[in-house]
Amino acid sequence: MPWSPLPDADGPPPQKVGESVERVLRSLGAPPVATLSLLFEAWPEVVGESIASATRPLALEGGRLSVAVPDGGWASQLRWMEVDLLGRIAKRLGEGVVTGLDVRVRPG
C-alpha cells in the first residue's frame, strides 16, 4: 500500500515525534525535555557565572543531577554547596525536579 500522510481511518491519528518522545521519557521517569533544556541553558544564571565556568550539567536521572567538574577541589566545593544549589535550581524549575547532585570529576 502506498504511503499516505492521512491517518488510517481505523487507527489513531498521527502524532508529532516530540510528543511521542515526551511520552516515552515520562514512562521512564525522566523529566520533560523542556525542563532539561531550561536547566542546561540557564545553568550560568542558576548557579552563577563562576561556578558555571568550571562545571556543566550532564544528565538528570531519578531526580539526581549529574554535574561534571574539572578536579577534586571543585567536586568538594559543589558537594559542600549542594543544599544551596538545589534551592537555586528549585526556584527555577520547581520543587522536587532535582533532589540531589552527583558530582563527577572529568578533567578537561
Domain ranges of the chain: 17-105
Rg (CA), the chain: 19
**Three-class secondary structure of residue 2 per DSSP:** coil
- The pTM of this model reads 0.71
Q: Which residue has the cell 562545571?
A: 55
Cβ–Cβ < 8 Å for 39, 93: yes
Q: Assign residue 100 a region: left if phi > 0, alpha if psi is -120 to 50, beta otherwise?
A: beta
Q: Which of residues 13 and 36 earns the better pLDDT score?
A: 36
Summarised one tens digit per residue, pLDDT across range 17-76 is: 666 666 665 665 666 667 788 899 999 999 999 999 999 999 888 899 999 999 999 999
> pLDDT confidence of 84, banded at 50, 70, 90?
very high
> Is the pLDDT score of 86 beyond 70?
yes
What does the DSSP 8-state code read for residue 96?
T
CATH number of 17-105: 3.30.300
Question: What is the spatial distance between Cα 39 and Cα 17, in angstroms, rounded to a whole number?
Answer: 22
Rounded to the nearest angstrom, the gap between the alpha carbon of residue 56 and the centroid of all alpha carbons in its chain is 11
